[in-house]
Copies of this chain bind each other. A is one copy, B any other.
Amino acid sequence: MTTGENHIGNQRSAKGTKTYKTFNPLLNIENDQVFYEATSEEINQAVDLASDAFKVFSKKSPKEKAIFLRAITEEILAMGDDLIAMYQSETGLPEGRAKGERGRTIGQLISFADMLEDGNWVEATIDTADLDRAPIPKQDIRKMLIPLGPVVVFGASNFPFAYSTAGGDTASALAAGCPVICKSHPMHAGTSEMVSEAINRAAIKTGMPTGVFSNLNSSGIEVGVELVKHPGVKAVGFTGSIKGGRALYNIASERPEPIPVFAEMGSVNPVVLLPEAIQKRGEALAKTYAGSITLGTGQFCTNPGLLIGIKSDGFSTFIDTLSSEIIKISPSCMLHPNIIGNYERNKENALQQNGLLVTADYTDEVSTNYARQTIVTVEGATFLENTTLHQEVFGPFSMVVQCKDAHELETIIQQLEGQLTGTILAEQEELAKYSSIVDALQNRVGRIIFNGVPTGVEVCPAMLHGGPYPSSTDSRFTAVGLHAVKRWVRPFSFQSWPNSLLPDELKDENPLEILRLVNGNNTKSKI
């Protein structure tokens, strides 16, 4: 099934001597397959091949690229249960999650294929000539989005399918017309190798150039660093920790030619509980949040790690209910011993801070690599003073902040770092009454939710998954949804270009029948 080799385009390669294995956290054993870390030579080969492939791939028609994306879905599905078994052996996640995430991945690829066939996404903009204009004749100018070049995608630990090898970053980059070099996540190198094989099979079947996709193994940071420094690489997609994302951002910014890095990093996803809602629905909300905090063993980037409210009897009841409900949930396995190790360490570090009260801590015996969920409370003033408490504890851990009044609550929100999401649990009338709190929260997040949970990131055009730093490195882009493609494209203008030589998207006849902005009007008409 796997060989442990890298994919340099559609060729397998294992020139290195540094090897590693993946780990089955459920069984608490190493998996058998040996993976060969990519060498500098292999990195250069992959990038050079991607640069060559770019010349061909960037000229493929939208239809051809759509056929390629659909073929990837077929090749992934053709791997059937073997792929699901590989995923489970490297993550400890249940079959339902594996299949669900595969479905999400397939759905993402298909939605980008649909986007290509629809064609409107290129933002075709045309201003026709007026050569009689005085004093200076107006030239014909036509603009559309074109691909940046080879993109490096870093696999995410917590989404081996949906945000790794053939996940959202890869699907959007390929849709844009950019070859992808995937730096596979070391915790699921086998899953990545299989998915890479699927992508390369699809590339061969649909006539895409070799090098349109490569998959490189690495257990450390060296391969990633070399890739981001490589002059042939033109953009980077990353999902992971703030430390990792910021390091790559710094490297990319310091290059002779800086390149864009979209890193989706950590977030505590603050949830604001307003008084009336707590009074009326506190118990139900507590039960819902016990579920959201422990969903996927708290390993989602939108996990609600911070709940903030104003002291009241209702809020105390909420905390009691949340604490008693969350203890009823059976602990589950985390993705890797390193991840549970970090969870325990970060939780311990938080618990050592002054002023924290543990209100729920699962103390029963659990299997190895299973995470105990924990709820702590803290006073608003204490939280404000100690920014260590603002940091994410990745896992099923939430901190409840009890503010003395609405002003303190607003101050806390203003001082939070940037977040992927912010949630308001409130009666509708309260939104107007606490509008400055709502405004402050909006200013700190990428997505704001009313009376829901932040977990569950719908893949749809209106989704924004990103946000102010450090939740992402550039709040102007999203990692989820069709607009994720905008990270990998640049607008390009043709001036006075012969109609027959323009891309179809910009031709007078509008052969693709796309919506275009022509002389200021949105239209599908010919010119």
Contact = CB atoms under 8 A, between A and B. Distances in A.
Interface of A: 55, 118, 120, 125-127, 136, 138-139, 141-143, 146, 148-149, 249-250, 253-254, 257-258, 260, 417-418, 428, 431-432, 439, 442-443, 446-452, 456, 458, 460-464, 468-470, 473-478, 483, 486, 489-498, 501, 515, 517, 520, 522
Given A138-B460, A449-B496, A450-B496, 19 more contacts: A55-B439, A120-B522, A125-B483, A126-B462, A138-B458, A139-B449, A139-B456, A139-B458, A141-B460, A141-B462, A141-B463, A143-B461, A148-B475, A148-B476, A149-B443, A257-B418, A260-B476, A448-B493, A464-B492
- A127, A149, A442, A489: which has the most chain B beta carbons within 10 Å? A127
- A254, A260, A458: which has the most chain B beta carbons within 10 Å? A458
B476 A446 contact: no
Given A253-B249, A456-B136, A522-B522, A464 B446 contact: no
A412 B473 CA distance: 35
A520 B439 CA distance: 29
A477 B439 CA distance: 28
9 contacts: A139-B456, A143-B462, A258-B469, A258-B473, A428-B501, A432-B501, A446-B492, A450-B496, A476-B489
Contacts of A498: 428, 431, 450
A244 to B, nearest CB: 15
User: What are the 8 closest A-B residue pairs judged by CB atoms, nearest first?
Assistant: A253-B253, A464-B493, A447-B493, A141-B462, A127-B460, A449-B495, A475-B490, A143-B462
A417 B446 CA distance: 35
B476 A490 contact: yes
A491 B483 CA distance: 10
A373 B253 CA distance: 37
Given A450-B497, A493-B448, A522-B515, A474 B260 contact: yes
Contacts of A473: 258
A163 B149 CA distance: 30
Nearest to A447: B493
Given A258-B469, A476-B489, A491-B478, A127 B461 contact: yes
Nearest to A252: B253
Contact of A431 (B460, B477, B495, B501): B501
Contacts of A468: 257, 490
A139 B522 contact: no
Contacts of A136: 456
A442 B490 contact: no
Contacts of A431: 498, 501
Contact of A491 (B428, B456, B476, B492): B476
A489 B136 CA distance: 33
B461 A517 contact: yes
Nearest to A118: B520
A469 B255 CA distance: 11
A449 B469 CA distance: 38
Nearest to A424: B497
Contacts of A522: 120, 515, 522
Nearest to A114: B520
Given A55-B439, A458-B139, A469-B258, A495 B127 contact: no
B451 A496 contact: yes
Contacts of A141: 447, 458, 460, 462-463
Contacts of A55: 439
Nearest to A496: B450
Nearest to A100: B135
A406 to B, nearest CB: 17
Contacts of A470: 257
A331 to B, nearest CB: 23
Nearest to A436: B55
Given A142-B462, A143-B463, A522-B120, A495 B250 contact: no
A37 B68 CA distance: 59
Nearest to A487: B476
A313 B496 CA distance: 28
Contacts of A126: 462
Contact of A143 (B253, B464, B489): B464
Nearest to A428: B498
A141 B481 CA distance: 12
A60 to B, nearest CB: 14
A340 to B, nearest CB: 27
A483 B124 CA distance: 12
A413 to B, nearest CB: 13
A250 to B, nearest CB: 7
B450 A495 contact: yes
Contact of A497 (B260, B418, B448): B448
A416 to B, nearest CB: 12
A258 B254 CA distance: 13
Nearest to A470: B257
